[in-house]
Chain A
Amino acid sequence: MSSAKSVEVSDLDLYYGSFHAVQNVNMTIQPNKVTALIGSSGCGKSTFLRSLNRMHELVHGARVEGSVILEGQDIYAPDVDPVAVRSQVGMVFQQPNPFPTMSIYENVAAGLRLNSRRMKKPAMDEIVERSLRGANLWEEVKNRLERAGSGLSGGQQQRLCIARAIAVEPEVLLMDEPCSALDPVATLAIEELIRELKVNYTIVIVTHNMQQASRASDITGFFNLEESGKPGRLVEIDETETIFSNPANKATEDYVTGRFG
């Protein structure tokens, strides 16, 4: 199986053109833990998440300063290929986005076929099954692997996307509000899955749902804006229990107790 890795973020500043979106983030993301990032809309937590696998730079004019060190290597060093970074750091998005023209099987296998990797059919079958089991989806789809992934329910599609992400055995798994488009039952299924996945992966999840952060995460980081137009900053990061019961910062307390945002 893959080996979870820690991520060391130092003095990270993120920009969209001249707009300073996130200012001076320092944090250590611990292996085999779920780190939740909470904060109001527009505080830069999604932007920060996307900087961890170099998806931030896909936006026209986006820039990054500072360093993100994964396994001793700064992923923003000039000689690092973003394609290689993204195959080490997987991502699950807010809206389930299986490839609509591919079957369930092909969706899970999509990452395995990249970069001209060749793989025999039995080996591929095995990884597809293992990934679908890993995403708690195997029992539901094992008899219709050749059907379109877009025919599944929203929650199943999101688990399919998780299976697709873990099939390439990343070291870190990023999740950008993975449950915000799902109903409560599907949400609980995904949260349970997240707790199981941390055995093998380092997980960072952005969420608007504070119950979700308190249920599913070990560490919680709170992002905030001083005022609109100013860059977002990481106000506080600590054990989830501490953040929700006894935060060090007043703004954090206001946010988690619902007096704000």
Chain B
Amino acid sequence: MTLKTITPVPHTAFRDQIEKLSGENVARCYQCGKCSAGCPVSFAMDLAPRRIMRAIQLGLKEEVLASTTIWLCVQCNVCSARCPREIEVARVMEACRLVFQQEKFKAGDRDTMLFHKLLLDSVRRWGRLHELDLAASYNLISGHLTANMGLVPGLIARGKLAILPHREARSEVKKVIARVEAEHRKDKAKAGGKA
């Protein structure tokens, strides 16, 4: 393990960005750790939620965005419900993911990122989630070729896994996604114009 000296930068654009996106006041966190203690997946994270909050307070952007935490967060909201300082920690995690996407950051928990990307790809393609499509493409791309595949034959046999996707919402959902992406382009152009 390499030890690193931290240079705290309390008021960074990163912290402002997170606070704006989440609507939460990160500085209020007093590091009690109730979020980490109650988090169902903190044991698997590299920086448990409390440490993410601390890293944001100190402006440690790289550490936050590179952490597996922001991807392992399942948005169960236990942290938010129990926070003694009434901070919606789950919203902060969500904001971190959004910044990650906006800045096209590379690192973190690739498997989870891939899962979310493929889920949305499936929705984009069919209008609804097609689970077989998601599972198959996930296994192919992630390289975990046989993950969960043991369940598939049973599900198909009991008529619970559709082989063909439902396509009735396809064109409408495609339109919604296209318009959302157009909005993003508009926002980007506006931000670029200002700069």
Do the two chains bind? no
Q: Which residues of B contact A (CB under 8 A)?
A: none
Q: Which residues of A contact B (CB under 8 A)?
A: none
